[in-house]
Amino acid sequence: MQLLPVPAGCESGSVFHGLDQPGVAVGFLVCPPSPAHQAVVWAGSSLTALATLGGPDAFAYGIGHSGRIVGTAETPEMYESGFHVTRPVVWEDGEVRDLGTLGGPIGAATAIAPSGMIVGVCEPEAVEPSLGRRPDRACVWEKGSARDLGDLGGPEAAALDVNARGWTVGFAMTATPYPTGDCCEEHAFLHDGQTMRDLGTVGGLASVAYSINVRGEVVGFSIPASDTGGGLPTLHAFVWREGLMRDLGTLGGAFAEAMDINDQGDIVGWSFAAAPLENWPDRAVLWHRDEAFDLNDLVPDRAGCVLTSATAIDNAGAILANARCDYKQRVVLLTPVRASR
């Protein structure tokens, strides 16, 4: 287990697809007393802070085989809600570039394909009357401009990953309102370059797709049929393959999310366990052949850290994970981790 370096007194974290470039990982730093997030890239034992757009926060979400990094960066300008304007960006050769949106002020770039195609979410210029605000739209950036990927009948959508074939996954509002009457059920989608397909749920009212591999296998989370509403919803990890969504369950707790899948079909994410581990209920998980393994059990020398979530896995089996080490959040690289069966 490699504990990725941070400046003294700082903490680190990773989100989404931060391990697509072999030997390189991306994430963010938080250095108290400042609450700001700084996008960073790790290459071996080195740490490099990424350029900003002048605002306090920046997050690096994904890295491509070309070394291009995508994410978000805030500007000094303020949005109508009182928050800083957040823009979708790409970092390349040490420079940061605003990717633009569909006309609105807000956006985020979440993943990049080997072809250079970037996906994410961004706002149009016009307000959606049914929402009373600008909607979030699933965006694709190609040839220097953004285009809308479409939706599942509702006003909002977001793209979260793209594979080497240009297939995109995320979640979108459907035309079906929730039982409360609020708009609308959100379902995981797969867009194959031509049409957007509703992947459904594992029986509940909502699902989100986080990642897709080259074979078209999709992972994320869904509310199960056993959740009847009221209070905090139950979340189960899922894998979708060959037209069917399978509930991957949890480690015994009520919540689990599958965050990434490699081309071999190994899946990583996190789950609550039935019993807490060293006072932390959330544990990093590896699903091998759809069977869940607590990564804390597969890494014997954790240097006093509790692995709380795994956010990326590459085709060599290396895993990027978040950990709690001496009550601080850190990012670790596990290379590789194998299930025992």
User: Which tens digits make up the pLDDT trace of 193-229?
Assistant: 999 999 999 998 899 999 999 999 999 999 988 765 5
Confidence of residue 232 (pLDDT cuts 50, 70, 90): low
Of the candidates 330, 329, 312, 319, the one whose C-alpha atom is nearest the C-alpha of residue 63 is 312
Which pLDDT belongs to residue 280? 62
CA 150 from centroid of its chain's CA atoms: 20
pLDDT exceeds cutoff 60 at 261: yes
Does residue 109 form part of some domain?
yes
- Whole-angstrom distance, CA of residue 192 vs CA of residue 206: 21
Average pLDDT of 50-71? 94
Does residue 288 form part of some domain?
no
pLDDT exceeds cutoff 60 at 138: yes
Q: Choose between 339 and 290: higher pLDDT.
A: 290
- The dihedral built from the CA positions of residue 239, 241, 169 and 211, taken in this order, carries a sign that is positive
pLDDT exceeds cutoff 80 at 277: no
- Whole-angstrom distance, CA of residue 113 vs CA of residue 116: 5
Which pLDDT belongs to residue 78? 87
Which pLDDT belongs to residue 13? 97
Output the DSSP codes for 54-108.
Answer: SSS-EEEEEE-TTS-EEEEEEEEEE-TTSSEEEEEEEEETTEEEE---BEEEEEE
- Sequence-distant (6+) residues with CB within 8 A of 270 are 256, 257, 259, 282, 283, 284, 285, 308, 309, 310
Q: Residue 54 belongs to what domain range?
A: 1-148
Question: Which range has the worst mean pLDDT, 163-172, 211-220, 301-310?
Answer: 301-310
48 with 26: CB under 8 angstroms? no
Does residue 219 form part of some domain?
no
Which pLDDT belongs to residue 44? 83
- In which order are the strands placed within the sheet that holds 168-174? 153-162, 168-174, 186-191, 196-200
Confidence of residue 143 (pLDDT cuts 50, 70, 90): confident
Does residue 268 form part of some domain?
no
Number of domains in the chain: 1
- Whole-angstrom distance, CA of residue 307 vs CA of residue 322: 6
Which pLDDT belongs to residue 303? 84
Which pLDDT belongs to residue 129? 93
Does residue 44 form part of some domain?
yes
Does residue 108 form part of some domain?
yes
Taking the model in full, what pTM does it have?
Answer: 0.94
Q: What is the phi/psi pair of residue 138, to 5°? A: -70, 125
Which pLDDT belongs to residue 230? 56
Check residue 317 and report its DSSP letter.
Answer: -
Does residue 45 form part of some domain?
yes
Check residue 116 and report its DSSP letter.
Answer: S
Confidence of residue 231 (pLDDT cuts 50, 70, 90): low
102 with 79: CB under 8 angstroms? no
pLDDT exceeds cutoff 70 at 112: yes
Does residue 52 form part of some domain?
yes
Q: What are residue 12's DSSP bridge partners?
A: 29
Percent of the chain with pLDDT over 70: 96
- Whole-angstrom distance, CA of residue 166 vs CA of residue 115: 8
Which pLDDT belongs to residue 228? 52
Which helix (H) or strand (E) is 273 found in, with range?
strand 267-277
pLDDT exceeds cutoff 60 at 341: no
